Structure 1
Amino acid sequence: MISPEERNRTGRGCLLGNWVEERATTSLDKTGPESDIHKKGHQGILTVDWSSKLEDTSTQKSAFTSSKGTSAQQKGFRYELMKEHLIKSISEQVHAELTAKPAAAELHSVTRRDYTAGGFQWVRPTPSTDRDYKTDQAITFWRENFDKIQGVTAVRNRDAPFKKNASFTCPITECLDPNPENDLDTEEK
């Protein structure tokens, strides 16, 4: 720490004008720790009124103001009209692009678009066998292999092996057929 005598000496490496200033503020340096003085500076040098505020404008701002411009027209009347017309037309184009309605979608099926070829005449094919899908039984794996399935009741008609068979509830006299093999043989022929 620097003693007060050393602080008042002129050989501390300060300039002559600064030394005069240091001598003038010596009484203020003793108000608090030296570190606070170096951080915050001396209080009360610029003003004694602690509630006063600094000025917003500097002397340069108050002396030199920007020019307000002349009252004469800077650009020509035709130039102003062209500029307004150009701004209006460009804004209309941009607005039309941004709010454009989408084009109507073409509603075509895949068949119409991809498979319909010009000059093709469709002809109904002739059936290879005489079948009627409304009355004939469907051809399935189980119908083809009904004789190999266990638990199937007696089959009277080979074309409809799974039709209702109520022979187990009929009296024996009615369900016994004198020639049951004849039914199956005649159907095969």
Structure 2
Amino acid sequence: MNTSDDVGTKSTAKCLLDNWVEERATSFIDTEESKAHISKHGHQGIISMDLVSKTQDVTTVKEAFIPPAASQIRQRGLREELLEKALYSTISQQVDEEFNPGPPPAEFISTTREDFKVPGFQSVPPSPSKEHDYKSEQAISFWSENHEKVQRVTAVKTRDTPFKRNSLFSTPIGQRLDDPVL
């Protein structure tokens, strides 16, 4: 009474009467694997015909699975964990030194020293053009040489003491008798 056509249409699984259409649609797939394999991996091509899609590997068993929570009991010893951390830090430090070497040592050679050396040259300071009395003469600086060019500077009467106090800015014009300009 059983023919080859009847074997493909009959289902060996117990199902509700309303599910017989689905059972009949997957009966040719169910013959190849065991029930545990089907429960774990599902049927290929039922949810999606695209075999590369993400939903192809999704089953209700995989989606409903909740991984067990980790127990609060230590699984490894404290010494083993500390040794592992120390090993990781030393290896990472060695790898970091290998791939990221430090900067090269600094060379403290000035441009003047490197570019303007002439073999046999002796640097000798020039001899003074005249004798200077450092006790009585005003020191020569940039400002003492260029004070005439700078604006808003008080008038310089003598070259030997150009930066002394000057009361010309507060003296009334009538009392400034020593000024030859007036």
Q: TM-score when scaled to structure 2?
A: 0.31
Q: Determine which structure has more spread, i.e. the larger CA radius of gyration.
A: 1
